[in-house]
Amino acid sequence: MSDLRALYEEVILEHNRKPRNYMKRPEGANRSAYGFNPICGDEFTIHMTVEDGVVKDVGFEGAGCAISTASASMMTQAVMGKTEAEAEALFEAVRDLLTHDHPDPATAGRVGKLQVLTGVREFPMRVKCATLAWHTMHAAMHGVDGTVNTEEPEEHHQCAIGGGH
């Protein structure tokens, strides 16, 4: 139970139950990106208002598991009011923390409360859940069009799909 509790920390469960800045498209939003995990179907759209190099407001919509929802909620709180450079540094730090067994010792100090997400390291199948919103935020901030995908597709083939529905 102990390692499961590390994954489902009370803070994470609380954010999952009451996600912050959820279903919110900030007034004057000028950045957005859509993130998708095709393996599990988690999908989030991040909307941001960035003015004078500062994240004035941020919100998200979509659906996912407890880990991805809580991570998205905490991300919005963490980047709110940060400069673009600070948000970028936070993105790098969180990614480092979640994907490396021995992250840079300075990282822990930089992420603060987001350290509760580190339980996910023991569950490799769930790391993408925790990083999805962060990658999406990163894409939104950089004005990347289209979709962030946890699995990189090589090509999209399309076929006309006719009636029947």
Q: Which residues of the shown chain bind other proteins in the complex (CB under 8 A)?
A: 1, 3-4, 7-8, 13, 16-17, 39-43, 63-67, 69, 123, 125-126, 129, 157-165
As given in the structure block, the two tokens for residue 14 are 């609380």
Shortest gap between Cβ of 42 and other proteins (angstroms)?
7
Q: Which of 26/62 has CB closer to other proteins? A: 62
Shortest gap between Cβ of 123 and other proteins (angstroms)?
6
Q: Which of 22/123 has CB closer to other proteins? A: 123
Instruction: Say if CB 64 and CB 129 are below 8 A apart.
Output: yes
Shortest gap between Cβ of 65 and other proteins (angstroms)?
3
Cα separation values, 59 from 45, 84, 131, 143, 154, Å: 8, 16, 16, 16, 30
Amino acid at 64: G
Question: CA–CA separation, 94 vs 134, rounded Å?
Answer: 8
Shortest gap between Cβ of 120 and other proteins (angstroms)?
10
Question: CA–CA separation, 135 vs 105, rounded Å?
Answer: 22
Nearest Cα neighbor of 59 from 43, 72, 70 is 72
Shortest gap between Cβ of 13 and other proteins (angstroms)?
5
Q: Which of 31/121 has CB closer to other proteins? A: 121
Cα separation values, 24 from 1, 3, 74, 147, Å: 35, 33, 14, 19
Q: Which of 69/136 has CB closer to other proteins? A: 69
Q: Which of 1/106 has CB closer to other proteins? A: 1
